[in-house]
Each structure stands twice: as C-alpha cells, then as structure tokens.
Amino acid sequence: MAGQIVSTEGSQMKLGDIDILGDMVLFFKKHELLSIGIVLSVISIITFAFFFINGLGLAYNDARSHLDISRRVVEGLRTGLAQLGSVWLPLPHFLTVFTVWNDFMWHSGLSGALVSMISYVGSGIYIYLSLKRLGVSYLARIAGVLAYATNANVLYLQSTAMTELLLILTITAAVYELIAWYKNDTIWSLIKASFWIMLSTLTRYEGWFLFIVAIFVITLHTFFTKGYRTAEGIFIFVASLAGFGIALWFLWNLLIFKDPLYFALGPYSAHVQQSQIYEAGDLATKWNFLFSAKVYLYGVLYNSGVYLGVLSVGGLLFLLVDKTLNKITKFSLLSILISPLLFNILALYLGFSTMSVVGLTGDRWFNIRYGIMMITPMAILSGYLLHKSSRLRYLLFVLLIVTTFYSYGQGIVTVEDAKKGASAKNVSLVGDWLAKNAKNNNDRVFVSVASHDAIIFSSGLRMSRFIHEGTGGYWESAGRNPEVWARYIVMRTYDLNDSSFSLLKDNPGLGKYDLVLRGEFADVYELREEYQGGLMRKTSKQYTSTDMSSADKNQLLLGSDEVDNKASSSSGLLIFLIFILSGMGLYFLNELGRNPIGAVKQQKITSDFGLSLFLARENIKRNI
C-alpha cells in the first residue's frame, strides 16, 4: 500500500519498491557537499532562531560593537570605510556592511550573525573535504563534521556577530588547501591556501600567527623535497598573497591614523588594555608559560568537551605513526593544525591576551570562547582516529553522539561568559534610559565608542545621533563647546581612559549639564533646558555661513567642497596647451624627420634652421 513500509529486512527500509535508506545514501554520495551544506544550513538557521528568541544573540558586548562598527560605515555623522577603525581587523565588519544598513538586520544582530552562519556551514564542508583528502571513510568524515557542527559553543557563536567562526572558516579552508597541495602539488591549491591565510590575517590576529607558521612549514617542506631554489620561489609566492592582508593593515593604519602601528600601540589597542589589566593584577598568565598553557587547555576542553579532547589526542598519535605520510608532511600538517593552540598560549604568556577560567583564575569567565579555535583540528583528528580504529569506530561514533547530547544539559560556557562573565558588561541601564528619553528628539549624544559602543547599540537610536571619535570635526568641535553640539553626554566620570571624560574634564561647558543617571559603567549628563536653545541641530552641509564661522564649517567638511576652482581651471588650460604644443611639435618633427630640406623648400622653416636640424638629426642617428 502506498505510504507504508513494506519490509525492513536486513538494512533495507522499503516503501513500496523504493529503498529509502539506500536512495538517501546514494543521493548523499552523489551530492555529498550539497547534502552537508543543506543540513548545516538548516541547523544554523534553527539555532540562530533559538538563541535570538531567547535574547542571547546580542549577549556579548563585543557583538554589539562589531555591529556598530559596520553600521558606522553606512550611517552616521561621518560615514565611509575609515569607520572600520584600527584595533579590530576589518574583514568581519566589512562583510557585515552589506546588510547592516537595514535597521532590523542591525538591531537583531542578524547582519553579523549571517557572516558567522555562512562561516559555520563553510567550515563544516571544509572539515569534510579535509578528511576526504586524508582518505578517511564516510563514517569518519561524518563523525568529524558532527564533532564540529553539533558543538554547543560553536552553535551559539555562529548565531552571534562574533568573529570566531569566520576565523575558523578561513583557517579550516587554508588547512584543506594545504592538504590538497601536499597531495597534488599544484600551484592552484597553493594559491587558494594563500588566499585563505590572507583572509584569516584580516579576521583576527591568530591569522597572523597562522601566516608565520604556514610560511615556515611550506618553505621547509619544499626545501627538503625540491631544494633551495624552488623553496625560495615558493616562499615569495606564498608570502606575497598570504601576507598581503597584513601589509594592507599596516598601510591602512598609516593612511587613516598616520601610524602603521596604531592598531598595536594606539590608545585603544589591546596592548594598552592589557597593560591596564596587568597593572590591576588581573593578568595571571603573563610570564607564566605553564599556567598559560593550562588556562588555555582548560578553555579548549570547556568548549569542546573532554571526550573530543581524548579522541583528538588519539588521532594525533595515529597521524604521527602514519607511514603513508612522510615526516615533513606530517610536521607541516600538524604545525598548521595546532597553530591556534600555540598562538593563544603565547598570547597569554606574553600578556597580549587575557582569559579567565572559573576555578583557575577567578570566579568569572572571560574570553573563554577563545578555546573554540581548536574545534577544527580536534574534529579532523577525531575523524582520523575513527577511521584508523577499524573495530571500535562505531562505538566511538556512538559515544561521540551521546557525549554531545549530554553536553547540552551541562550549560554552554560561551553563553555563560556572554551573560554573566566579564564579557557581559550590563549597559542596558544607560541604553534603556537613552532609548526612553532621547527617542523623541533628534539631539545628539556625545559618547566615546571605544568605551561605550554597547550603549550606543542598546539605545536603539540612529548612529547619526552620536558624536564620537570617528566623527572628525564634530568630535573636536563638541570637545571644545559641548553645549553647542550635544544635548546628552555619556561618559564614565573620573575615568581618564574614557575619551569623552578626558576631553571634557576641564571644559567649563560641562557645568551646563546635569547628571541625570549614574550607571555601573557610565553616567548620563543632559544639557539644562535654558541652554538647549543654542544647540546646533543641522548637519554640516545644511549650515550656511550665518550659522557658524567658516572655521567651524571647515572643520566639519570632509575637504570635498573647499577646492580652488581657479587652480583646476589653470590646470585644465595647461593640459590643453601641452596637448596642442605636443601635437604641433610631433607634426613638425615628423616633417623635419622625413625631409628637413624639403621643409625648407616648402618654406616651412628658414634654410639655416633647416640645415642645423638636418645636421643634428644625422648626428643623433650616428650616435644611436
């Protein structure tokens, strides 16, 4: 009867004459990447919806900041790519720009989450492909993908506007292409690997470490297999493309901030932040290698689970003794796979990064999500182990599924960090106040984005309402006369690290404001009513000369209007004259070049001049 299962003999499940399971397997084998893509996409969408409905999509303050950075490129008092800023690498924000112009996409976080979601699907596909390249069985490949794709922390992060998933995609893709290169030795795989490494260097600074490691192992591998000359060429070839992103970043900092190392040493850099944390005694891992390794490994295990950790170690051991791969290839592969581990431990050791694990460094989580970076190598190594353990593979696979489901009930550590950890600065008090009190007017808010980006996001106000460091002339003008430009000031009073406070602390104009809200992380000041009549409420282009002095207007303008048209006109005339003269000169020379004597006869020139030219021409010819 149609619609009923007719028999379940053996492993076949038949519906009438149709073998459902067999057909599914056949479809999968024929369209394996498409199948994986579809399944992961569905999981991604469902998971995003789940976390969004539960209000967790924007729990990380960093997520809100990432969204705001992208939004400032397209909306604000001063827009443009320069709003991408310096400290955080630009790629995640750049990709978000394409959708963040829409208010819903911005405020829901979907704009940023979309990048993470696509990265999630892409990484899953590349894990599958990597395992396929290594020659593992179908089951082992599925296991590897499952180990990654069902990880609760991965699922959460892919629902947010955080940058970890994009980095995971770029690293996984680079690993795959390098595996392909080791196998087939084509330059196309090498180019793709370099491309992905370049993208990783534009995503997070772990990518820079990957760049160093990848260049080293590729060059070493080539040196031992093909000699110095090829190694040199390959080094330059790979480093050029892979390192282009780093070069661009230095150039960006030079052009925008006049200092190529602004991202590293500038006032908002991680270096400065880490120094402050260190002075406060909260950087426990600095200069302690073992402790740094311990903290990071704990972070890895909290994110991925102990079982996966054990499988990975097993896979690593099997890879080391695998005789089908030569030593150099093994060394190269493993170096690249564990580069996030090395980077993070080094970063903790040198004090460039900070991570807090409950029970080890304190009672709060902080940056525990950094441990998720090892998920890809662990997934690949686990899949590899499953493939190698022929008798136990089904048991290991079942245990993987069981432990994964078990982990869902134990809490998601990245969610805890977002909600309660040090990443979850509660800024809703100030944000809500602004949303309630500032929404009915169009007056501006003076605030430092470096300190209070999350407040800007939480307020729900348009970006063009905010005067911040990236608004150029507005920021400077408001810094001199806040009572003219901003009705509200949001700042952390008495904290010199807050740019708005440090700019206004000695400003007499501050006396015209009342403190209307004292929050945990920031205070709100509002201009007294009697002074609000003097507020500048137009945008720069709307101002006429009577509204403000030309000095102030020039401050606001981006330089595009103030052009000396006279200089342009004279340039145009000069070009025209040069063209005419050159053309006449060419014609004249051509005539003379052909026959200066003929030119004399045609009375084009005097005979003396013609003779001189003739002699000069002959002289030049002889010398050439």
Partner 1 sequence: MFEILNIKKTNKISPRDTGSMQGAGVELNGRRYITHTTLEPKNTAASTFILWQKLSITILILLICYGLISKPLWTLTIIAGFLSFVYFLDVLFNLFLIIRSLGSPPDIIFSEDELNSLDENKLPLYTILCPLYQEAKVVGRFIQSIEKLDWPIDKLDVILLLEEDDKETQRTVYEHYLPSYIRPVIVPHSLPKTKPKACNWGLSLAKGEFLVIYDAEDIPEPNQLKKAFLGFAKVPRNVICLQAKLNFYNPYQNILTRLFTAEYSLWFDIILPGLQSVQTCIPLGGTSNHFRIDDLLKLEGWDAFNVTEDADLGVRLFRAGYKTAIFDSTTLEEANSQLGNWVRQRSRWVKGYIQTYLVHTRNPVAFINQEGIHAIFFHILLGGRIAFMFINPILWIVTFSYFALNGLVGETIEAVYPGFVLYIAVTSFIVGNFMFIYYYMVGCAKRLQWSIIRYSIFVPFYWVLISCAACVAIYQLIFKPHYWEKTKHGLDVPDSKSILENYQEKDYSIGTAFTKEVVLWPAR
**Member of 29, 31, 229, 537 binding partner 1 (CB under 8 A):** 229
Q: Judged by CB under 8 A, which stretch of 294-302, 350-358, 377-385, 558-566 contacts partner 1?
A: 558-566
Distance of alpha carbon 263 from alpha carbon 274, whole angstroms: 13
Q: Judged by CB under 8 A, which stretch of 179-187, 487-495, 548-556, 597-605 contacts partner 1?
A: 179-187
Q: Taking the mean position of all CA atoms in its chain, how far away is CA 443?
A: 32
Cβ 528 to partner 1, closest distance in Å? Answer: 39
Provide the sign of the torsion angle of the four alpha carbons 127, 131, 133, 138, taken in this order.
negative
Q: Judged by CB under 8 A, which stretch of 63-71, 423-431, 433-441, 566-574 contacts partner 1?
A: 566-574
**Member of 145, 169, 190, 373 binding partner 1 (CB under 8 A):** 190
User: DSSP of 323-376, one letter per residue?
Assistant: TTS-HHHHHHHHHHHTHHHHHHHHHHHHTS---B-BTTTBSS-BSGGGGGGGHH
Q: Residue 476's closest CA among 588, 557, 366, 563?
A: 557
Q: Residue 514's closest CA among 506, 503, 525?
A: 525
SS3 554: helix
In this complex, which beta carbon is closest to partner 1, that of residue 406 or of residue 579? 579
Site for partner 1 in 371-400 (CB under 8 A): none
- Find tokens 């190392």 and name the residue: 261
Distance of alpha carbon 424 from alpha carbon 405, whole angstroms: 27
Q: Residue 359's closest CA among 413, 410, 322, 435?
A: 413
**Member of 16, 31, 49, 188 binding partner 1 (CB under 8 A):** 188
In this complex, which beta carbon is closest to partner 1, that of residue 7 or of residue 565? 565
Contact 366, 417 (CB under 8 A): yes
Distance of alpha carbon 32 from alpha carbon 201, whole angstroms: 30
Contact 36, 124 (CB under 8 A): yes
Backbone angles phi, psi at 189, to 5 degrees: -65, -40
Residue 598 as a binder of partner 1 (CB under 8 A): the answer is no
- Find tokens 């991202």 and name the residue: 263
In this complex, which beta carbon is closest to partner 1, that of residue 287 or of residue 587? 587
Buried b (16+ CB within 10 A) or exposed e, 574-588: eeeeeeeeeeeeeee
SS3 18: strand
Residue 620 as a binder of partner 1 (CB under 8 A): the answer is no
Cβ 383 to partner 1, closest distance in Å? Answer: 27
Residue 586 as a binder of partner 1 (CB under 8 A): the answer is yes
Cβ 233 to partner 1, closest distance in Å? Answer: 3
Buried b (16+ CB within 10 A) or exposed e, 257-289: eeebebbbebebbbbeebeebeeeebbbbbeee
Q: Judged by CB under 8 A, which stretch of 14-22, 156-164, 165-173, 567-575 contacts partner 1?
A: 567-575
**Member of 103, 232, 514, 520 binding partner 1 (CB under 8 A):** 232
Residue 496 as a binder of partner 1 (CB under 8 A): the answer is no
Cβ 343 to partner 1, closest distance in Å? Answer: 26
In this complex, which beta carbon is closest to partner 1, that of residue 185 or of residue 618? 185
In this complex, which beta carbon is closest to partner 1, that of residue 186 or of residue 441? 186
Residue 514 as a binder of partner 1 (CB under 8 A): the answer is no
Distance of alpha carbon 85 from alpha carbon 487, whole angstroms: 26
**Member of 583, 602, 612, 619 binding partner 1 (CB under 8 A):** 583
Q: Judged by CB under 8 A, which stretch of 106-114, 181-189, 277-285, 392-400 contacts partner 1?
A: 181-189
Distance of alpha carbon 620 from alpha carbon 369, whole angstroms: 74
First to last CA, the chain: 97
Cβ 558 to partner 1, closest distance in Å? Answer: 9
Residue 569 as a binder of partner 1 (CB under 8 A): the answer is yes
User: DSSP of 277-309, one letter per residue?
Assistant: HHHTT--TTTT-HHHHHHHHHHHHHHHH-HHHH
Cβ 61 to partner 1, closest distance in Å? Answer: 30
Structure tokens at 338: 């564990």
Q: Judged by CB under 8 A, which stretch of 36-44, 200-208, 508-516, 572-580 contacts partner 1?
A: 572-580
**Member of 241, 261, 346, 399 binding partner 1 (CB under 8 A):** 241
Q: Judged by CB under 8 A, which stretch of 44-52, 225-233, 488-496, 513-521 contacts partner 1?
A: 225-233
| C-alpha dist (Å) from residue 72 to 83, 92, 194, 250, 371 | 6, 14, 31, 22, 30
Cβ 578 to partner 1, closest distance in Å? Answer: 11
Provide the sign of the torsion angle of the four alpha carbons 109, 115, 118, 124, taken in this order.
negative
Residue 254 as a binder of partner 1 (CB under 8 A): the answer is no
Residue 578 as a binder of partner 1 (CB under 8 A): the answer is no
Distance of alpha carbon 610 from alpha carbon 621, whole angstroms: 16
**Member of 46, 392, 401, 573 binding partner 1 (CB under 8 A):** 573
Q: Judged by CB under 8 A, which stretch of 51-59, 91-99, 170-178, 230-238 contacts partner 1?
A: 230-238
**Member of 544, 565, 603, 623 binding partner 1 (CB under 8 A):** 565
Cβ 74 to partner 1, closest distance in Å? Answer: 12
Residue 220 as a binder of partner 1 (CB under 8 A): the answer is no
Cβ 241 to partner 1, closest distance in Å? Answer: 6
**Member of 80, 411, 534, 598 binding partner 1 (CB under 8 A):** 80
Distance of alpha carbon 59 from alpha carbon 71, whole angstroms: 18
Cβ 550 to partner 1, closest distance in Å? Answer: 16
Distance of alpha carbon 1 from alpha carbon 474, whole angstroms: 76
Q: Judged by CB under 8 A, which stretch of 23-31, 235-243, 406-414, 507-515 contacts partner 1?
A: 235-243
Residue 257 as a binder of partner 1 (CB under 8 A): the answer is no
Q: Residue 360: count other Cβ atoms within 10 Å of its Cβ.
A: 14
Cβ 266 to partner 1, closest distance in Å? Answer: 22
Distance of alpha carbon 109 from alpha carbon 256, whole angstroms: 28
Cβ 97 to partner 1, closest distance in Å? Answer: 12
Q: Judged by CB under 8 A, which stretch of 262-270, 329-337, 355-363, 585-593 contacts partner 1?
A: 585-593
Distance of alpha carbon 113 from alpha carbon 56, whole angstroms: 12
In this complex, which beta carbon is closest to partner 1, that of residue 189 or of residue 200? 189
User: Footprint of partner 1 on this chain (CB under 8 A)?
Assistant: 80-81, 184-188, 190-191, 229-230, 232-234, 236-237, 240-241, 244, 248, 251, 559-560, 562-565, 567-569, 571-573, 575-576, 579, 583-584, 586-587, 590, 624
